[in-house]
Structure 1
């Protein structure tokens, strides 16, 4: 399970978000990664307690359903669907950039894509074909079964860590103190803004909790996986960020809209083989990010359908593989459309809000569940309670404050549409409003769900 978290986290924050985050904060982007990691770490402790106490599929949605009520859970579900869907599309677009970098190193013609420096200014009629192909491949793998997906993900994580280690070693040979001054190009504002930009890369912590019913001994496995994934991710992020910003001037990052790390290796060594290896590793390993985030969204839709918040169509599973095929197909179609037609930078701006709100809800849920059910079995308990969840809420709220205003506008429109759907349809069909025993959506294991 830790490999699932590492797989979905490393790949978004490092391979291609540097070109957006470094221009915002300069060399102090290193502090942004540390700050974002601290906020995510505090939230991870809260996730660990909730995962051990409420080990079910659906992650933050299920936690909100159990602690904050149906309406709040639906709003959180909207955050998660936005978070997973848009982040999957974003990493797919980034993947296509590394694919074309790899093809260029091999002297093979690039595949047409829609990457651009400004939102919505791609050439009319141009489709990001590699991103669409990637989503389709991940969907087919998930339809075959989660166990096969997990094995593939573990291999991809190993490849990812290997190529990033190679990047750090080579980039440090070009370490230049001058590139680190001035360190704070925009003060605290730049650090906070960059932290908000990169925060979506910590989505892997939430992804682990979506599989609460599909792992053995979740009370012990999931908390350990959450903390192990966080420690690995923060260490790798800081090392790669330090090596990158010390290897080239800050202004160069804004010119690297895709495959930024590969371009740094080209500049440092003057040769193509390091870039070729890194691009090949990125093409293989970023696959795991798309795989895991796609997986997480299908499980959230399943949990919502089981609670009656969505039509029964979303509760159907394949009788042989026990995977939600309908959900996988629907999610893949929506994500493929986003990835095929919307540029990377616009997609990245829309993800962090959902992630931060999810972290805040989980931290708040720990406090509420402690008060409502103090005797509930909790194999893992948040240390320094209630200070830790309060600090987690405060840190995430502070990073939210630093995001662009237009991000909140689009976020509000989306969540408003989700709540409207609940008021018009969801509340009339929810399990809570039907006769019969129901445990707030927490009683039916995924593997026992029937079509």
Structure 2
């Protein structure tokens, strides 16, 4: 039975978070299978997918050829925060990612809301990514066999269909692979990451053969406003890089490998995105790319005069987006595992199978819950909400770096944010700007989402918190402190 409500300002020290992650509270623990290469591939798997294969056309529609600037600005926002994730991921190598970092720096109440926002970045974005996968499945079928799934089975009601069956299928397949084990999932993610990088490099090679400088003018047809709007749209292409920190308990040498993997992954993806955008626009022009579904396949078809190349790109997109579903679902289950350990969400999420060393029950619940919006909603309906939720958690992570530098100066840090405190402050500022660019309707939706989170915490989280019930590790009292 729950006891008296916990103090929402109560914090957990980094030492306690690390100790509890190895305390095997469920009776069976996670295992360390992932090396640096697997972590980089995992990060690429979590990032490169719907954002570039599907979302590029939306970014181009906003910014025109200046979408390259939008990608760089979105990357800059991520770089500032990537430094923060690298420092905290090396210092607190646990599965909870932003949630655990917020618990260490700002207290339980803020940590719960961060975890609540991560439902947008990881859970709801799984639904969005699965919808994008469905688009390319149809493109692949059309290019290879001249047949497509009927809209009634390949789109939700908002897009003129009834149920998006492919979106449900890809979530189910990812869940099956995840429950088999981390080693199997890591191998599959690595293979898919290498394949989709190769296909995007091939796309650039094809696109640049038809490159025309005149297609880059006018460079910014909508001016600075268009670049800003394009940056917000482009940011969705980077969502997921922080998923690397959710592997803190399953990574080998996490204090070294997690910071390195984050920075390598983000640099690689940024260069690739800019090259893909330049190749696409330079080949056929911004107006032709902007707003077009399956734009990369269309570009290759136009350049080569054949549907064969476009079919290869569509196949790459199917693989790429499937790997995003796999990696992001992994991140969501590990965050819920950490929250469940603390009693803030039901205990089903912390149960780890002794056979596979994975949270089987939690994975199946996540798959079932987020298959519903994938089946019945459109991609556009959730992209901005995912973006603003992700930006909010990234801003909090930058704040936590500053708080822990002051409160925990002796904390072992394998990586330190350069130019402190300028870089984390710039991270907060850039996140705030992109949040503003999402528009007032998104802010209203986000406010309602946060209000719902506050109610869930007040009526469930606080009363079931292990800080309230006393169900914590034996030395917890000695290391937990009140946030000042």
For Structure 1 versus Structure 2, the TM-score category normalised by the shorter chain is over 0.9
Deviation track 1:274-315 (CA, whole Å, cap 9, x = no partner) reads 111111122122211110001111111111110110121221
Deviation track 1:54-77 (CA, whole Å, cap 9, x = no partner) reads 111111011001111111111111
Specify which of 42, 45, 51 is matched with residue 13 of structure 1. Answer: 51
Deviation track 1:75-108 (CA, whole Å, cap 9, x = no partner) reads 1111101111221111111111111111111125
Specify which of 290, 311, 335 is matched with residue 346 of structure 2. Answer: 311
Specify which of 187, 207, 214 is matched with residue 171 of structure 1. Answer: 207
- Structure 1 counterpart SS, 2:355: coil
In the alignment, which residue of structure 2 is the partner of 1:228? 264
In the alignment, which residue of structure 2 is the partner of 1:217? 253
Deviation track 1:363-405 (CA, whole Å, cap 9, x = no partner) reads 1100000111111111111111111111111111111121122
Q: Determine if the alignment matches structure 1 residue 56 to structure 2 residue 94.
A: yes
Q: Which runs of 5+ in 2 are unaligned?
A: 1-38, 480-484
Specify which of 37, 46, 60 is matched with residue 84 of structure 2. Answer: 46
Alpha carbons 2:50, 2:129 under 8 Å: kept: yes
Q: Distance in 1 between matches of 2:79 and 2:339?
A: 27
* Residue pairs, 1:135-154, within 5 angstroms: 135-154=171-190
- Structure 2 counterpart SS, 1:4: helix
Alpha carbons 1:43, 1:392 under 8 Å: kept: yes
Specify which of 70, 74, 83 is matched with residue 108 of structure 2. Answer: 70
Alpha carbons 1:85, 1:294 under 8 Å: kept: yes
* Residue pairs, 1:379-390, within 5 angstroms: 379-390=414-425
In the alignment, which residue of structure 1 is the partner of 2:158? 121
Measured after TM superposition, the shift of residue 254 of structure 1 is 4.0
Measured after TM superposition, the shift of residue 440 of structure 1 is 7.7
Q: Determine if the alignment matches structure 1 residue 91 to structure 2 residue 129.
A: yes
In the alignment, which residue of structure 1 is the partner of 2:20? none
Measured after TM superposition, the shift of residue 123 of structure 1 is 2.8
Per the normalisation by structure 2, the TM-score is 0.87
User: How many residues align structurally?
Assistant: 439
Q: Determine if the alignment matches structure 1 residue 35 to structure 2 residue 73.
A: yes
In the alignment, which residue of structure 1 is the partner of 2:412? 377
Alpha carbons 1:113, 1:130 under 8 Å: kept: no
Per the normalisation by structure 1, the TM-score is 0.93
In the alignment, which residue of structure 2 is the partner of 1:412? 447
Deviation track 1:135-155 (CA, whole Å, cap 9, x = no partner) reads 100000001111100000000
Measured after TM superposition, the shift of residue 113 of structure 1 is 4.4
Deviation track 1:167-225 (CA, whole Å, cap 9, x = no partner) reads 11111122122221111122222111111122122222210011111111110010000
Q: Using the TM superposition, name which of 193-202 and 261-270 deviates more.
A: 193-202
